[in-house]
Amino acid sequence: METRKTRLAALTAGVAITVLALTACSGSNSPSGSNSPSDSTNGAGQTLTVYIGADGKYGPQQQQWFKDVSAAFQTQTGATVNFQTFASGTEELTKIQTSVVANQGPDVYVMGTTFTPTAYSTGAFVSLTADDWSKVGGKDKFVPATLGISGPSDSDQVGIPFNSGPFAMAYNTDLLAKAGIDKPATTWDGLVAQAKKLTGNGVYGMAIAYKDNFDPWKFIWAMSRQAGNPIISGKVAKVDDPTTLKAYQTYFGWLTTDHVVDPASVGWNDGQALAAFASGKAAFFPMSTTSNIPTLSTSAVKDVYKFALMPVVPPGATTLPAGGAGATSIVAGNNIVVAKYSKNQDLAFALVKYLTDDANQQFMYKTFGVLPVNQTTLKAVVASTPALGPILDAAAGSVATPFSGAWADTQLALMNVVVQTIPDLAKGSVDNSKLQSLLTAAQKTAQSSLDKAP
């Protein structure tokens, strides 16, 4: 009996470990170096921990930047900055979850703009007072559009803009000229018509990354928003709205019915779509980030590409419909939030001020291809680089995604529709009823997530 019990116990333990792995799996959590409260920005001997995404494209430059920032901040306040990096949004989510539960962790987080609502809903980050804003240099310092997703209202904000990366569309001037097209269309239908003309001889009209983990939902959101559907409106999700269905049909249709994208793009991520455009194999490259700019400027097409706005008129329309917003982009980029549990909040604000001041904003633009959120810097950049004009217009015309704690779930549901459709896409035809049922499922996810919100 003993052995049997032991074995059963061992087996139970084995299964139990599964459960533990499932329920308690939450990564490691190292407490921040902050250990003594500070009542001023005199931070001698203190360490401020900053949690920031690792830059996949400019890694070594980012490491050097960490060192430079820490050295400069030490000169300024006596405190050092410890940068910790994460490789994926998932990793950051886990870190935030554990820090929120443990009430300790990094002092400052840099997070994607669309994640700000979820972070806000945890209540674990400092809602900025007028005093706090003045500590980071004043709200006026920032480009107004970048504040669009800092909080639910002007008076209740947790996110401080850090950098901006709006959508833009790169196009190959050479290919367009050969096809007798002088500039990209401003409607999605017009763009497809142009793309059809440009497709042929191994060149495709558009480069699209269907397999990217971040890109696809942004197109769906933009087209839906332009048609008047914000996806989340108050406590109601509208994922199964006809405008959204139309957006998906258009997005998939480029491959299945219009044949203006490379069939191989069902397996592409953003980098692979970029490579296709950069080697002259695609005429239009709608980009959901500006971080491709440094790569483009050294590529084979470096002398024959320009930027334009992505179309702002939804599919099936020739003018912006009533209720539609001419969304050129989401409010894209990164925000900074300061943890409530941080004992170094004043130091944190001092660091945020440094990071968003002109010098650092200039540096980040030149090094990482991210647009400044600082008004002064942006003006200087505009003056020195006229080609960026459309991107800046995109930033100015950007519309924020809904500020809802349910957004992360909704975004995942929007992405999931694309992921589950890829096999059909690869076969060359997307069944409408199947698409509709995926949308119904996504709607259910989004709505049930909204229903949970207090």
Partner 1 sequence: MPASSAESAGQSVPSGLAGKTPSGRGGPTANVRHRRGVTASNRPLWMLIPGGVLMILVIVVPILLGLYISVLTLDQYTLRQWLSAPFTGLGNYIEAVTDSPLLKSFWISLSFAVLSTAATVPLGIAAALATQNHFPGRAVVRSVFLIPFVMPSFVVATVWRTMFQPDGVIVSGLHSVGITSGLWLNGPNSYWTLVIVEIWAAWPFIYLLALAGLQSVDHDVHEASALDGASWWPKLRYVIFPYLKGPVALACVIATLNHINNFTLPFVLFGVPAPEDVQTLPFLTYITSFESFRFGLGAAMAFSSLILLAIPLIIYVRAVKLDVDEGADK
Applying CB under 8 A, which residues contact partner 1? 1-4, 7-8, 11-26, 90, 93-94, 97, 100-101, 118, 121-124, 211, 213, 264, 266-267, 405, 408-409, 412, 415-416, 419-420, 422-424, 426-427, 445, 449, 452-454
CA distance 405 to 410: 10
Residues 6+ apart with CB under 8 A from 66: 81, 83
Nearer to partner 1, 117 or 137 (CB): 117
At 411, list the tokens.
């975004």
On whether the CB atoms of residues 297 and 136 are closer than 8 A, the answer is no
Question: In terms of CB distance, is 79 or 266 closer to partner 1?
Answer: 266
Closest CB to partner 1 among residues 3, 40? 3
Count CA atoms within 13 Å of residue 273 on its CB side: 29
| Shortest Å distance, C-beta 5 to partner 1 | 9
Distances in Å between the Cα of 292 and the Cα atoms of 52, 109, 160, 221, 325 are: 19, 24, 24, 21, 26
Query: Least CB distance from residue 181 to partner 1, whole Å?
Result: 29
Helices (H), 41-87: 59-77
Question: Strands across the sheet with 47-53, in order?
Answer: 80-86, 47-53, 108-112, 333-338, 160-164
Least distance to partner 1, CB of residue 131, Å:
23
Question: Please, which residue, 257 or 420, has the CB nearer to partner 1?
Answer: 420
Residue with smaller CB distance to partner 1, 13 or 177 = 13
Q: Which H or E run includes 336?
A: strand 333-338
* Residue that is written with structure tokens 């001997």 in the block: 45
The residue among 72 and 422 lying less far from partner 1, judged by its C-beta, is 422
> Which whole-number Å values give the CA distances from 435 to 74, 210, 419, 441, 446, in the listed order?
55, 15, 11, 10, 16
Task: For partner 1, give the closer residue by CB, 15 or 71.
Answer: 15
Q: How far is the CB of 136 from partner 1 (least distance, A)?
A: 24
Give the Å distances, CA to CA, from 34 to 81, 88, 107, 118, 341: 10, 25, 8, 25, 10
* Smallest gap from residue 24 Cβ to partner 1 (A): 5
Q: Which tokens is 30 given?
A: 């190292």
Task: Report the alpha-carbon distance of residue 255 to residue 263 in Å, rounded.
Answer: 7
The least distance separating partner 1 from the CB of residue 8, rounded to whole angstroms, comes to 6
What is the closest distance, in whole angstroms, from the C-beta atom of residue 49 to partner 1 in the complex? Answer: 19
Smallest distance, Å, CB 217 to partner 1?
Answer: 10
R_g of the chain, CA atoms, integer Å = 24
The residue (of 386 and 454) whose beta carbon lies closer to partner 1 is: 454
Q: Write down the least CB distance from residue 254 to partner 1, Å.
A: 17
Assign 337 to helix, strand or coil: strand
The answer to whether 185 and 191 have CB atoms below 8 angstroms apart is yes
Minimum Å distance from CB 211 to partner 1?
7
CB nearer partner 1, residue 68 or residue 451: 451
Q: Which tokens in the block code for residue 192?
A: 């497809």
Q: Which is nearer to partner 1, 118 or 289 (CB)?
A: 118
DSSP 187: B
